Amino acid sequence: MATLKPVRVGICGLGTVGGGTFNVLMRNADEIARRAGRPIVIEQVAMRRDNPDCDTTGVKTTSDVFEVAGNPDIDVLVELIGGYDTARELVLTAIGNGKHVVTANKALIAVHGNEIFQAAHENGVIVAFEAAVAGGIPVIKSLREGLGANRIEWLAGIINGTGNYILTHMRDEGRAFEDVLAEAQALGYAEADPTFDVEGIDAAHKLTILASIAYGVPLQFDKAYTEGISRITYDDVEQADNLGYIIKHLGISKRTESGFELRVHPTLIPKERLLANVHGVKNAIAVMGDAVGPTLYYGAGAGAEPTASAVVADLLDVARDITTDHHYRVPYLAFSGIHENDNNLPMLPMEDIVTAYYLRLLAVDRPGVLARVATILSERGISIEAIIQKEATEGELVPIILLTHRTREKHMNEAIRQLESLADIAGPVTRIRVESLDEQE
Amino acid sequence: MATLKPVRVGICGLGTVGGGTFNVLMRNADEIARRAGRPIVIEQVAMRRDNPDCDTTGVKTTSDVFEVAGNPDIDVLVELIGGYDTARELVLTAIGNGKHVVTANKALIAVHGNEIFQAAHENGVIVAFEAAVAGGIPVIKSLREGLGANRIEWLAGIINGTGNYILTHMRDEGRAFEDVLAEAQALGYAEADPTFDVEGIDAAHKLTILASIAYGVPLQFDKAYTEGISRITYDDVEQADNLGYIIKHLGISKRTESGFELRVHPTLIPKERLLANVHGVKNAIAVMGDAVGPTLYYGAGAGAEPTASAVVADLLDVARDITTDHHYRVPYLAFSGIHENDNNLPMLPMEDIVTAYYLRLLAVDRPGVLARVATILSERGISIEAIIQKEATEGELVPIILLTHRTREKHMNEAIRQLESLADIAGPVTRIRVESLDEQE
């Protein structure tokens, strides 16, 4: 074995993921070579500063990532610098030089992926990005290859560990969002500016990628609806619990007759779902295929070595496919001819999605309030599944909790506008979407 | 796209899985062709009788599976007849004729896999078997490719749906094993002779395959320890529940310094594990890698279309690799040179495995019984984590429930022999192994 020549890798970026990739390639070199049928060697590392976790003795280093992109001794450039502009230029340069690319950069793929794949296609090179979604979980491989027999009907995932950490601790410890966020920041699970994670932008990047490879449509990050978890209160967490639900921050994409849903938002899901039992920083993605039925993939969504696990798995694929004609490779977004295919259904605007809802209203304790609320809903064809009305202390506002059946978001928006205009209702109506996600059906 | 010529498939067996495969290939033909970059067409079907779920109009059929193996118009033979001898002969004939093979036959691969892969290697053909383990869950692809960066440390799975169905209903409904088994037979979830499923043989076939591709060692079904669920009582289920555990029938394989564990048996696992929340006929496999940490794969482990999903995914892989030199293909058992590699650690005999234990004893309510039990355990270095002693009604035997820390099976066997020889202890000691499976660590 290993009579084939080694695959030579240039790692750009030796931060958390770059360091992890370096260490996994070094530590498991023998097993990796037995798997690939040939060694995978680190030819060069581009880094701005030393990583104390990595022993780069004997490895060629540079501070200029573009040196790696131009190095004729390198077969595969591993882009682990993150960000948009430099990463895009670096990847396009490497592709232009005929190099294969492996990246963990979800923002880059979600926003510039169509352009990058087009360039890669023209140059006959691979661009692999398993590490861009859900860290070490092989969900891209599962979707693109393992479930290749299926029409994917929907997928839903916990694809941001920070958000799940916060929601887990809010629920388990009865704490407020801000309080847990501060703790997550102190522990290094959340950034100083947490917007990217808690407002759902990171999750929307990943969801955009998952949806494209699920349905074989171009990447459309700008069409994703994004709502964060910063307005979730412990009261909502508790009410959801009473109703048999857990609140998770999910990326959800569904195939419908008129188009695809693409949305990130807090979601009530039944407690018995496996997704509801995914705690802390872990990730999981449920995928429904027409043949296989419900499936689920679980693991670490971030971190040095979990993400490295996915980067190195991509390197193994590259090692196997490096001499293969590109017609025989797995298409970047799972399907051939995506860009020639004009039959694609659109990504639906949020007003057109259909889901169930949890509503929390603060009402003046007056006769007829509930009747007025129910009338507004029923006039828009929204039927109520459950109502909880807490007992009022005299003179105080009464919270009313409603669960509705499925309806179009547009009708719910109208209903909420009208509810908020009622004299009986104080302040804004809290609205959280509800999904049954019948993964055990 | 689709300028490449079609891949021509011969399906042998049009029963449950064969029928599902036929229907999925027909229904999703367009999407499958867009994924493979070329059509996958059914060239011939060998069947003993019509399948009322399949419309074979216009498809060439035969009643002789060996006709398919000799048909020069066929690129890939899909073996879905099951069993050992004819299946082995069919697959070896197809391989000898230079055909690629896709099979869902776990017994065939677990027992004759080494011979089949050797023949396939010599003939430069692919033998793919995703459907042999856990139906539609792409766990073989995940282990062989998605986790290729990792040294796999352990795996544990619910890999027999019948057994999980029975345990789920025993627990949820407080029923006895025999009662739920009879129901499962009536519903078609269990065979008239349920031995294969409930005694763990089917699970041991699958575990054998998973362990080989996890560690890169030859298939060794004869080394698997197999214990069924027929002796589990509702009392054990209830006691486990009180202690915070659920009883699942697991296939478990671990890498240790002295060898690999390979065992199928009822197991207490903590309630909060995702595996503990996998109900009914569903399957799930937890896999721990040194880089990725804990991961889990969940879905339907059997059934016509879920299994077909895996068969067709294999056909997609064959379609991509059909022209590839076999050096570049994923090795059958994940690693190159398995048969040349004489450094393989052995599969450990059951006496040498290390685990924790749940014990249930029936004791005469006499002073000093507990002390005598504790002494026997401590003399063998077995320490006790928890004891539950129920109150005795006068003159009755008292159940004593013990949870121990981890110890070597050999020591536990000796301890149990001595416990059973005590005059204070009535009847055999019930012993169920306990695993923490820190999948959320």
User: Per residue in A21-66, pLDDT tens?
Assistant: 999 999 999 999 999 999 999 999 999 999 999 999 999 999 999 9
Confidence at residue A341, expressed as pLDDT on a 0 to 100 scale:
56
Where residue A188 falls among pLDDT bands split at 50, 70, 90? confident
Listed in sequence order, the residues at least 6 apart from A186 whose beta carbon sits closer than 8 Å to its beta carbon are: none
**Chain B environment of A137 (Cβ under 8 Å):** 292, 295
Of all helices (H) and strands (E), which one includes residue B364? strand B354-364
DSSP codes of every residue in B130-176: GGGSSTT--HHHIIIIITTTSPEEEEEEE--HHHHHHHHHHHHHT--
A337 touches chain B (CB under 8 A): yes
Question: Rounded mean pLDDT of B195-214?
Answer: 97
Per-domain residue ranges for chain A? 7-136+305-328, 139-299, 350-433
**Chain B environment of A292 (Cβ under 8 Å):** 135-137, 299-300, 305-306, 309-310
Whether residue A391 is predicted with pLDDT greater than 80 in this model: the reply is no
Q: Whose structure tokens read 């899901």? A: A269
Q: Which residue of A has its CA nearest to B314?
A: A146
Of all helices (H) and strands (E), which one includes residue B125? none
CA distances from A396 to A308, A362, A391, A419, A426 (A): 55, 10, 10, 19, 11
Question: Rounded mean pLDDT of A190-203?
Answer: 93
Q: Whose structure tokens read 């040179």? A: B337
| Fold of the CATH domain B7-136+305-328 | Rossmann fold (3.40.50)
User: Per residue in B317-330, pLDDT tens?
Assistant: 999 998 888 888 99
Q: Which of B328, B333, B439 best tests the A interface by mutation, with the highest count of A CBs <10 A?
A: B328
* Helix (H/G/I), strand (E/B), else coil: B62: strand
Alpha-carbon distance of A357 to B345, in angstroms, equals 56
Whether residue B1 is predicted with pLDDT greater than 50 in this model: the reply is no
Whether residue B223 is predicted with pLDDT greater than 90 in this model: the reply is yes
| Residue ranges with strand state E in B14-99 | 40-46, 60-62, 76-79
Q: In chain A, what percentage of residues exceed pLDDT 90?
A: 88
Q: In chain A, what percentage of residues exceed pLDDT 70?
A: 97
User: Per residue in B106-148, pLDDT tens?
Assistant: 999 999 999 999 999 999 999 999 999 999 999 999 999 999 9
- Over chain B, what is the mean pLDDT? 94
Question: Rounded mean pLDDT of A362-380?
Answer: 92
Please tell me the CATH code under which domain B141-299 is placed.
3.30.360.10
- C-beta separation of B38 from B61 below 8 A: no
ipTM score for this prediction: 0.96
Confidence at residue B339, expressed as pLDDT on a 0 to 100 scale:
60
Q: Say yes or no for a CB contact (<8 Å) between B37 and A138.
A: no
Alpha-carbon distance of A382 to A135, in angstroms, equals 39
CB atoms within 10 A of CB A61: 13
**Chain B nearest CA to A315, separation (Å):** 9
Confidence at residue A340, expressed as pLDDT on a 0 to 100 scale:
58
Q: Which of residues 294-333 of B touch A (CB under 8 A)?
A: 294-300, 303, 305-306, 308-313, 316-317, 320-321, 323-325, 327-331
Alpha-carbon distance of B59 to B46, in angstroms, equals 10
A167 touches chain B (CB under 8 A): no
Describe the crossing of helices A409-421 and A369-379 by its angle, rounded to 10 degrees: 150
Bridge partners, residue B299, by sequence: B283
Confidence at residue A3, expressed as pLDDT on a 0 to 100 scale:
65
Confidence at residue B441, expressed as pLDDT on a 0 to 100 scale:
44
Q: Say yes or no for a CB contact (<8 Å) between A297 and B295.
A: yes
Q: What is B354-434's CATH number, 3.30.70.260, 3.30.70.980, 3.20.20.70, 3.40.190.10? A: 3.30.70.260
**Chain B environment of A313 (Cβ under 8 Å):** 145-149
Confidence at residue A439, expressed as pLDDT on a 0 to 100 scale:
60
CB atoms within 10 A of CB B392: 13
Tokens of A371: 């009747």
Residues, chain A, total? 441
**Chain A nearest CA to B425, separation (Å):** 40
Confidence at residue A414, expressed as pLDDT on a 0 to 100 scale:
98
Q: Are strands A354-364 and A407-408 parallel, antiparallel or unpaired?
A: antiparallel
Nearest to B313 among A148, A278, A327 (CB): A148
| Fold of the CATH domain A350-433 | Alpha-Beta Plaits (3.30.70)
Alpha-carbon distance of A28 to A12, in angstroms, equals 20
User: Per residue in A228-244, pLDDT tens?
Assistant: 999 999 999 999 999 99
Confidence at residue B340, expressed as pLDDT on a 0 to 100 scale:
58
Whether residue B267 is predicted with pLDDT greater than 90 in this model: the reply is yes
Per the CATH hierarchy, to which homologous superfamily does domain A139-299 belong?
Dihydrodipicolinate Reductase; domain 2 (3.30.360.10)
User: Per residue in B351-381, pLDDT tens?
Assistant: 999 999 999 999 998 888 999 999 999 999 9
Confidence at residue A190, expressed as pLDDT on a 0 to 100 scale:
86
Q: Which of residues 208-247 of B touch A (CB under 8 A)?
A: 216
User: Per residue in A95-140, pLDDT tens?
Assistant: 999 999 999 999 999 999 999 999 999 999 999 999 999 999 999 9
Confidence at residue B405, expressed as pLDDT on a 0 to 100 scale:
97
The residues of A carrying an active-site annotation are 206
Question: Rounded mean pLDDT of B289-307?
Answer: 97
User: Per residue in B250-260, pLDDT tens?
Assistant: 999 999 999 99
Where residue B211 falls among pLDDT bands split at 50, 70, 90? very high
Q: Say yes or no for a CB contact (<8 Å) between B299 and A299.
A: no
Query: Nearest Cα to B152, choosing from B252, B275, B263, B301?
Result: B252
Query: Nearest Cα to A436, choosing from A244, A256, A292?
Result: A244
- Over chain A, what is the mean pLDDT? 94
Q: Say yes or no for a CB contact (<8 Å) between B149 and A312.
A: yes
**Chain A environment of B32 (Cβ under 8 Å):** 148-149
Whether residue B217 is predicted with pLDDT greater than 60 in this model: the reply is yes
Whether residue B341 is predicted with pLDDT greater than 60 in this model: the reply is no
* Helix (H/G/I), strand (E/B), else coil: B413: helix
- C-beta separation of A191 from A177 below 8 A: no
Tokens of B313: 């995914």
Of all helices (H) and strands (E), which one includes residue B101? strand B100-103
Q: Which residue of A has its CA nearest to B140?
A: A146
Bridge partners, residue A363, by sequence: A398, A425
A343 touches chain B (CB under 8 A): no
* Helix (H/G/I), strand (E/B), else coil: B330: coil
Confidence at residue B343, expressed as pLDDT on a 0 to 100 scale:
58
Whether residue B440 is predicted with pLDDT greater than 70 in this model: the reply is no
**Chain A environment of B321 (Cβ under 8 Å):** 328
**Chain A environment of B255 (Cβ under 8 Å):** none
Residue list for the binding site of A = 12-19, 106, 191
Confidence at residue B230, expressed as pLDDT on a 0 to 100 scale:
94
In Å, how far from its chain's centre is CA A206? 3
Confidence at residue A418, expressed as pLDDT on a 0 to 100 scale:
97
Q: Which of residues 26-55 of B touch A (CB under 8 A)?
A: 27-28, 31-32, 34-37
